[in-house]
């Protein structure tokens, strides 16, 4: 897992935790639902008006295949690491990003889960600092893991409490 993203986004001695594969299922399901709606609409219109509109349906199916593959890559690229003093999060395949958030700078932690997320036992954790620029999001954790991470971050933040 650690080697796939190259050395730049990989610090020495950091063990990256992958996020839950449930997130891929959630995103694929949403993509499937949206594409199905589109395909149905195009198919009905094709039957009613002109067979040229089958091209639209075919394109949507092709898009879905591409999304399927992309979601797998994107979810595989997300990772986080709890270090002694900070939390590291990395994500992205084409546009890669790495964020380092010190525990002492954390203002609050959000845990969110939508209806489809809950079907697959997935929750999203987001850390907030005083900066709006901090994009410290960990999507797709198991609900227990999310709760554990939230409590752990909160306690670590409290231990290293700093002002601004």
Partner 1 sequence: MTQPPEPGSSTAPPPPEPGLPAYSGLADGEWHLMHPATPLLRSWQVIAVVLLFVVQSFGNDFIAGDADFEGPHVAGRWLLGGGAVLLLIVLAGVGLAFASWRATRFRVLDEALELHTGILFRQQRRARLDRMQAVDVVQPFLARLLGLARLTVEVAGGKESNVALSFLREDDARVLRNHLLASAAGVRYDGPEAPEAPERSTLEVPVGRLILSLLVSGPAIGFVGGVLVLAGISLWIGHPGPLAGSFAPLLGAAGMLWTRFSNGFGFRIADSPDGLRLRYGLLEQRTQTVPPGRVQAVRLSQGLLWRQLGWWTVHVNIAGYGGDDNDSESGSTLLPVGPKVEAVGVLALVLPDLGVRPGENPWDVVDAGLTGAGPAANFLTAPRRSRWVDPISWGRSGVRVTDQAVLIRSGRIYRHLDIVPHARTQSLGLTQGPLQRRLGLASFTMHSTAGPVSPTASHLDQAEASELIAVQSIRAEQARKASGPERWMERSGPQASGHLQQPGEPT
* Residues found near partner 1 in the complex (CB under 8 A): 7-9, 11-12, 85-86, 94-102, 104-105, 129-136, 160, 162-164
Please say which residue, 12 or 49, places its beta carbon nearer to partner 1: 12
Non-local CB neighbours of 124 within 8 Å, separated by 6+ positions: 110, 111, 112, 113, 117, 137, 138, 139, 140, 141, 146
Beta bridge partners of 126: 110, 137
For the CB of residue 31, give the shortest distance to partner 1 in the complex, in Å: 23
**Residues in CB range of 150: below 8 A, 6 or more apart:** 109, 111, 125
Nearer to partner 1, 60 or 101 (CB): 101
Least CB distance to partner 1 at residue 150 (A): 18
Q: How far is the CB of 94 from partner 1 (least distance, A)?
A: 5
- 90/150 with CB nearer partner 1: 90
């Amino acid at each position: 897992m650690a080697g796939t993203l190259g050395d730049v986004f990989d610090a020495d001695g950091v063990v990256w935790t992958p996020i839950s594969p449930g997130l891929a299922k959630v995103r694929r399901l949403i993509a499937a639902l949206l594409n199905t709606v589109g395909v149905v609409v195009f198919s009905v219109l094709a039957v009613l008006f002109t067979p040229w509109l089958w091209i639209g349906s075919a394109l949507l199916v092709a898009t879905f295949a591409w999304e399927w593959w992309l979601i797998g890559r994107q979810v595989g690229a997300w990772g986080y690491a709890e270090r002694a003093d900070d939390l590291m999060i990395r994500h992205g395949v084409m546009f890669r990003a790495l964020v380092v958030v010190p525990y002492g700078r954390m203002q609050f932690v959000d845990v969110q889960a939508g209806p489809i997320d809950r079907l697959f036992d997935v929750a999203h954790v987001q850390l907030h600092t005083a900066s709006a620029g901090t994009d410290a999001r960990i999507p797709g954790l198991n609900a227990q893991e999310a709760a554990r991470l939230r409590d752990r971050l909160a306690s670590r933040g409290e231990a290293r409490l700093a002002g601004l």
